[in-house]
Structure 1
Amino acid sequence: MGGIHGAVPGSAGTDRRRPSTVSRTGGYVPLRDYAVIGDGRSAALVARDGSVDWLGLPDLDSPAVFGAVLDVDRGGRFLLEPTVPYRSERRYLPGTNVLETTFVTPRGTVRTTDALTLHDEAALAPMRELLRRIDGVSGAVPMRWSVEPRFGYGTRTTRFVRRAGVPVATAGADALAVCAWEAGEPRCEGEAITGGFFTSPGGSALIAVPFARQEPLVLPARVECEARLQRTCAAWRRWADDRIYTGRWHAAVMRSLLTLKLLVFAPSGAVAAAVTTSLPEHVGGARNWDYRFSWVRDSAFTVAAFLQLGCPAEAHAYFWWLMHASHLTHPRLQVLYRLDGGAHTTEEVLPWQGYRGSAPVRIGNAAADQVQLDTYGELMQTAWLYARAAGRLDADIARRLAELADLVCATWREPDSGIWEVRSAPRHFTQSKMMCWVALDRAARLAAHRSIPDGHLARWQSARQEITAFIETRCVSPRRNCYVRSAGTEDLDAAVLLGHLYGYDGDLQRMRATITAVGQELRHGPYVDRYSGEDGLSGSEGAFLACSFWLAEALAGTGRLAQATELMDDLVRLANDVGLYSEEIDAATGDFLGNLPQGLSHLALISAAHAIDAASEEASG
């Protein structure tokens, strides 16, 4: 299948849980060194050296208060580390999204526990709260900490005051306090609130950072913070214990599901693509996009994962959010929507240097205005999955879905920007046509089950046949007898594998040849590039992780189970030390690239694991 198996850059031959030194280049850590914590409303990136380098408040898509991952000088952060040389190791507390980091120094060992606490309905609590507990394990370790908030992506003036003796940073209606117990006396120094202390064996310090916007800032007592931390751990464990997966890759699937839960925006049920913006697909390049939105492209994988793993409430909330958001632009689907369901996603550029000089730093996403016909197939597949699980669809939603099928009949012949959102002239992308076929096929199935009106069923079936004819005559390489990236080209596209995964009813031998061609020409070891050919953008990029998982799933689906399992085992080893994946990986170095944690990477892992498990069970009888 092409490529070299065995050594995996950045992981093979090493113990990812082994304590390691932490280094920064120009103030930036490798993206692999980040873990994520969250509370269903916002999320933070925590570096291996204990620095919180990203946190939007009050919501995941709000302006960053800590943004050092994108500008080490102007972004702001919450630093917490020993003042002597150290190595560190970390893990998530089992069944949770609470992070534990252990610092090993010549003077002793110290352990930190980081969490964005879950909302406490029973008592007065901060709007948002970041807790960091520091426990002495051995020796006396000197520690330092510094909270450097930069409100509104650093564009707003920050004032430092004291309330009831507690230092508070404010900017307009935003207020952020720093409550410290046994962590040294907080001091306001320049644009930061700082402190230092020594740990002792069995001793414990705590730093709480409560945040409020346009409401009273709650200054909690230590006992309340400790109780909330315990309740947060318990709540995550209860949620994880109710999930369902017993297959070969249990640890990877469960961590992926817990990561996906962090991307669920609790107030609406939307699922964000990632918690960050503008982390580069190539260091120093311009392929830097804002992923703090919800893409229709991810919807079918998302609902399938929720239903497969026993998360019906999340599936229900997400489906209804999707229906409400898409109603704003009906019958046209927008490529992506804001987490609150809004359609306005204007793209702007911040005056930040970007991760390791990777500018521009963008907020907003202009791809929302593109035509991407594949989204209709994703939405109809989502509706089909949901209807099978729920047993029925609301009458208004059923009518709208039928109207979407009518729109596909009218528009499938048009060129579009495709799943990869190319910013060059639209084309007749093969995967887009296949997903139009999926849209009409699922519409026909829904109509057959009386889930949507069937008045135009014959029209949908006729258009589905026309799409098949277009694909099989214009989107094929005569030389290789495989499907190509777009009509009239010889380029390959790993996204065409989705046609197989969603059951496109074309030429099976041609699809098998496509899977083989992708493996031979786009794959390098476990890494798979998105496509060959140009895309109208400058610069290069890494291998797209979801494509690797799609290939593993496609191999299993076409009887190549041993190859699928081997590839899946390689891919699971590509996660960082706490089981997270970014959008892309540099195949030469193993470095993470792109926004993280990337929802689609984790969704593709879950889908591939289920498919390979099912194929293994079938093969064993």
Structure 2
Amino acid sequence: MSIRPERVGGYAALRDYAVTGDGRSIALIGRDGTVDWLAWPDLDSPTLFAALLDPARGGRFLLQPEGAYTAARRYLPGTNVLETTFTTAGGTVRVTDALTLPDSHSLAPGRELVRRVEGLAGSVPIRWSVQPRFGYGAGAPHVALRAGVPVATRGPDAVGVCAWNAGRPQCTADSVTARFHAESGTRALIALPYAYQEPLVLPLRGDCEARLDHTITTWREWADNRTYAGPWCEEVLRSSLALKLLVFAPSGAVAAAGTCSLPEELGGERNWDYRFSWVRDSAFTLDAFLKLGCAPEAAGYFWWLMHASQLTHPRLRVLYRLDGGTRAPERALPLSGYRGSAPVRVGNAAAGQLQLDTYGELLQTAWLYTNAGRRLDADIARRLAETADFICTLWHQPDAGIWEVRSGPEHFTQSKMMCRITLDRALDLAERQLIPDRHQARWRRERQAVAEFVDDRCFSPRLNSYVRSADSDDLDAGLLLGLLHGYRPSGDPRMRGTVAAIQRALQDGPYVNRYLGSDGLAGGEGAFLACSFWLAEALARCGHVDDAVHLMDELIALANDVGLYSEEIDPTTGDYLGNLPQGLTHLALISAACAIGEATR
């Protein structure tokens, strides 16, 4: 559907963004053709364009018709290459956008954004402007001609602006602009080659065109090899492509999201940097890769996780950098924030929290890996056994919980459930002689002690439900993970009661809130989309397949026009909130679709 894009105060609606990427970084492109976010050289690097967080200082790459127009867009089938069609009174033009993948036939820049503009009908006046602002808009670049090509530099960063049949670029002190007419049957090309601490490669047009075509072909070949054939196949494929964008190719890590500091409440302070890899997501991630037939991604991610966790063994960090590092100091940037939502944060202080559920996620991930026929080497097997030993003592402590609350530690129920799962999985692996079994008796004793704690102090007979934390009456959608990860079987009355209580207290139509209760931060947030998909999966596992299908259909309808999800949605307005694309949301969609498919079979 072709609509007229709109902005408020320079900001596009988050729902209006599509994303493209190359395994190293991603770009967010508005429905109006403006690139408002791009971090180079890597996904977690400082930005080249960050108008998403500050239209005045962040920098952008604008490309759109002059005058009134409408826009329709799609991904080229089976790819992460975006195609936007602009329609004006005078004609129609198509823009194809990609962060290109290198081929073996030409010398490629370190990174490259290519934008192809094709005149389809009539004559369309086009304007474009590249406004680079390196380092989260920290300072204006120096722009000068190099071999006739405008090049913007600041410190070790350099980006060229190569244009063919796209007007004559005009350089100002800190930007490059041009105008041209896209006539029917013509093709223009604009490429941004980038280099960091190395010589800048200024590409030839033919090489850029070839790399764009190669990128399309490569994405399609990857999509054609996905093995999922259950319900909502198209949506699962799109989620798998979105997830692939968050796989950091050099290490195999999977980022939680592609952006930082997009608000969970407009004007609020819940603005976090999600460009890290969370252990919390690990079991869902590995399970999705295995079910989708992504063997290289599954192996790469598993070994990255084992290596990263080795650096902090026996303790786990809540999150790790994409290179496996542990430092993620949180600081505020001098940007206005999306629609005035400040502070704008990079880094994440949650990295230093104790989050007990991560130990269960780690053992669940290893358990899934071995169930798929993979083997563990001796060092990893030893470390997993030591992790089980460690949790035997650690589980008694309060923690920050899965939602990383900043109000102080508590005895969160979901954390304790995952501690029991840590020991369950360790015992199973030991019985299969996949990890050392010297402490099985202790693991069994502590597993029973955890279960007694959860059942005695974390269950409310009045609500007929597990509760958010020990001795409370609050509910938490994270408790659904106890069912999904196997704390108790789906037929258990207490788990079924918990699912029903979450429906009564936290669900409103397709929307599910994370929890009731304080978390130490001011303001509120939207409905958490992953929780909605978890509920759909839980319903299917409990035998309520019709209810699960109905909820799933409602959730599928909440995707934006190109099939992407953010972290949250405002139930009142339908506006997207939080960082995007959100890996956990797409993982939860894949998991729910697979579970419902299994239930219907």
Matched, 1:542 2:538: no
Higher mean alpha-carbon deviation, 385-394 vs 566-575, is at 385-394
Equivalent residue of 1:340, what SS? Answer: coil
Map of 1:366 onto structure 2: 349
Map of 1:570 onto structure 2: 554
The aligned amino acid for 2:355 is Q
Percent identical among aligned pairs is 66
Report the Cα offset of residue 157 of structure 1: 4.2
Provide Cα deviations, 1:542-592, integer angstroms capped at 9, x if missing partner. 000000000000000011000000000100110000000000000011100
Matched, 1:219 2:202: yes
The aligned amino acid for 1:334 is R
Report the Cα offset of residue 121 of structure 1: 4.0
Matched residues in 2 for 1:339 and 1:425: separation?
27
Matched, 1:464 2:447: yes
The aligned amino acid for 2:424 is D
Provide Cα deviations, 1:84-118, integer angstroms capped at 9, x if missing partner. 10110100000000000011111111110000001
Map of 2:251 onto structure 1: 268
Map of 2:418 onto structure 1: 435
Matched residues in 1 for 2:119 and 2:173: separation?
29
Structure 1 residue corresponding to 2:596, chosen from 603, 607, 612: 612
Report the Cα offset of residue 505 of structure 1: 2.6
Structure 1 residue corresponding to 2:458, chosen from 456, 475, 497: 475
Which runs of at least 4 in structure 1 moved beyond 6 Å after TM superposition? none
Q: How many residues align?
A: 600
Structure 2 residue corresponding to 1:50, chosen from 19, 26, 33: 33
Structure 2 residue corresponding to 1:237, chosen from 220, 234, 237: 220
Provide Cα deviations, 1:255-308, integer angstroms capped at 9, x if missing partner. 000000000000000000001000000010000000000000000000000000
Report the Cα offset of residue 122 of structure 1: 4.3
Report the Cα offset of residue 246 of structure 1: 1.1
Report the Cα offset of residue 388 of structure 1: 1.9
Q: Confirm or deny: 8 A CA contact 2:540 2:596 kept in the other structure.
A: yes
Matched residues in 1 for 2:76 and 2:119: separation?
17
Report the Cα offset of residue 190 of structure 1: 3.7
Structure 2 residue corresponding to 1:351, chosen from 326, 334, 342: 334
Alignment of 1:48-447 (within 5 A): 48-447=31-430
Report the Cα offset of residue 155 of structure 1: 1.4
Q: Confirm or deny: 8 A CA contact 2:143 2:173 kept in the other structure.
A: no
Report the Cα offset of residue 408 of structure 1: 0.6
Matched residues in 2 for 1:303 and 1:117: separation?
26
Matched residues in 1 for 2:80 and 2:458: separation?
44
Matched residues in 2 for 1:223 and 1:144: separation?
23
Matched residues in 1 for 2:56 and 2:174: separation?
12
Report the Cα offset of residue 161 of structure 1: 1.1
Work out which structure has the larger RCO, using CA pairs closer than 8 Å and 6 or more positions apart in sequence. Answer: 1
Matched, 1:591 2:537: no
Q: Confirm or deny: 8 A CA contact 2:488 2:495 kept in the other structure.
A: no
Structure 2 residue corresponding to 1:37, chosen from 20, 45, 51: 20
Report the Cα offset of residue 461 of structure 1: 1.3
Provide Cα deviations, 1:125-179, integer angstroms capped at 9, x if missing partner. 1000000000011110000000000011121441111111000000111110000
Matched residues in 2 for 1:311 and 1:333: separation?
26
The aligned amino acid for 2:534 is W
Equivalent residue of 1:265, what SS? Answer: coil
Q: Confirm or deny: 8 A CA contact 2:31 2:71 kept in the other structure.
A: yes
Q: Confirm or deny: 8 A CA contact 2:464 2:501 kept in the other structure.
A: no
**CA-based RMSD:** 0.9
Structure 1 residue corresponding to 2:587, chosen from 603, 607, 617: 603
The aligned amino acid for 2:321 is R
Equivalent residue of 1:89, what SS? Answer: strand
Matched residues in 1 for 2:374 and 2:29: separation?
42
Higher mean alpha-carbon deviation, 390-399 vs 342-351, is at 390-399
The aligned amino acid for 1:586 is D
Matched residues in 2 for 1:110 and 1:404: separation?
58
Matched residues in 2 for 1:204 and 1:293: separation?
39
Equivalent residue of 1:21, what SS? Answer: coil
Alignment of 1:515-526 (within 5 A): 515-526=499-510
The aligned amino acid for 2:202 is L
Provide Cα deviations, 1:48-78, integer angstroms capped at 9, x if missing partner. 0000000000000000000000000000000
Equivalent residue of 1:44, what SS? Answer: strand
Matched residues in 1 for 2:386 and 2:40: separation?
38
Matched residues in 2 for 1:541 and 1:59: separation?
29
Q: Confirm or deny: 8 A CA contact 2:21 2:245 kept in the other structure.
A: yes
Report the Cα offset of residue 214 of structure 1: 1.2
Report the Cα offset of residue 353 of structure 1: 0.3
Equivalent residue of 1:499, what SS? Answer: helix
Alignment of 1:504-523 (within 5 A): 504-505=487-488, 508-523=492-507
Provide Cα deviations, 1:9-35, integer angstroms capped at 9, x if missing partner. xxxxxxxxx111111000001000000
Provide Cα deviations, 1:197-229, integer angstroms capped at 9, x if missing partner. 001111110000000011111111111111000
Matched residues in 2 for 1:281 and 1:190: separation?
36
Equivalent residue of 1:500, what SS? Answer: helix
Report the Cα offset of residue 533 of structure 1: 1.0
Equivalent residue of 1:111, what SS? Answer: strand
Matched residues in 1 for 2:567 and 2:374: separation?
35
The aligned amino acid for 1:140 is S
Matched residues in 1 for 2:587 and 2:454: separation?
27
Calculate the TM-score normalised by the size of structure 2: 0.99
The aligned amino acid for 2:61 is F
Equivalent residue of 2:391, what SS? Answer: helix
Report the Cα offset of residue 390 of structure 1: 3.9
Map of 1:14 onto structure 2: none
Equivalent residue of 2:372, what SS? Answer: helix
Matched, 1:558 2:542: yes
Matched residues in 2 for 1:46 and 1:101: separation?
10
Report the Cα offset of residue 391 of structure 1: 3.2
Report the Cα offset of residue 120 of structure 1: 2.5
Matched residues in 1 for 2:441 and 2:19: separation?
49
The aligned amino acid for 2:94 is R
Matched residues in 1 for 2:464 and 2:269: separation?
36
Calculate the TM-score normalised by the size of structure 1: 0.96
The aligned amino acid for 2:430 is A
Matched residues in 2 for 1:173 and 1:189: separation?
21
Report the Cα offset of residue 478 of structure 1: 2.0
Matched residues in 1 for 2:335 and 2:172: separation?
23
Q: Confirm or deny: 8 A CA contact 2:252 2:301 kept in the other structure.
A: yes
Matched residues in 2 for 1:529 and 1:320: separation?
34
